[in-house]
Structure formats: C-alpha cells, structure tokens
Amino acid sequence: MKKGSSKNNRPSKICPVCERPFEWRKAWRNCWDEVVYCSERCRRRKSKVLDSSQ
Ligand SMILES: [Zn+2]
C-alpha cells in the first residue's frame, strides 16, 4: 500500500519582487528554469522599476 506522498514534492522558487514562494505550475513545465517571477504582474512591476531608473 502506498500513501501517494512520494510525488508530492513540487519544486518552488521565491519571487524577487513580492518575496513570496511560489510552486511549480503545469503551465511552466517547459520553461521552469527560466521562470523568475511568480506572476505576470510581478514581472511587469520589476521591469517598471528598472525602466524608472533611466
Ligand atoms: Zn511575485
């Protein structure tokens, strides 16, 4: 009998913008290594910060 807990180990990262951990999502299965931000909103927020320095 297995309790099915062996595959319950999804990778996670910490978003540098909101500093919250986020879990692997199916949508990222092909590009997880390139994912840095937890959401599109955080990605835009980050680029906005970079743009404002010019
Ligand atoms: Zn975030």
For residue 54, the CA-to-ligand 1 centroid distance in Å is 23
Give the pLDDT of residue 9. Answer: 82
- 6 within domain boundaries: no
Burial of 16 (0-12, 13-18, 19+ CB in 10 A): exposed
Give the pLDDT of residue 5. Answer: 61
For residue 26, the CA-to-ligand 1 centroid distance in Å is 17
- 4 within domain boundaries: no
**pLDDT surpasses 80 at 45:** yes
List, as one string, the DSSP characters of 23-53.
Answer: E--GGGTTTGGG--SSSHHHHHHHHHHHHTT
Number of domains in the chain: 1
| Placement of tokens 């319950």 in the chain | 8
For residue 12, the CA-to-ligand 1 centroid distance in Å is 12
- 7 within domain boundaries: no
How does pLDDT run across 3-42, given as a tens digit for each residue?
666 666 899 999 999 999 999 999 999 999 999 999 999 9
Structural domain span for residue 36: 12-51
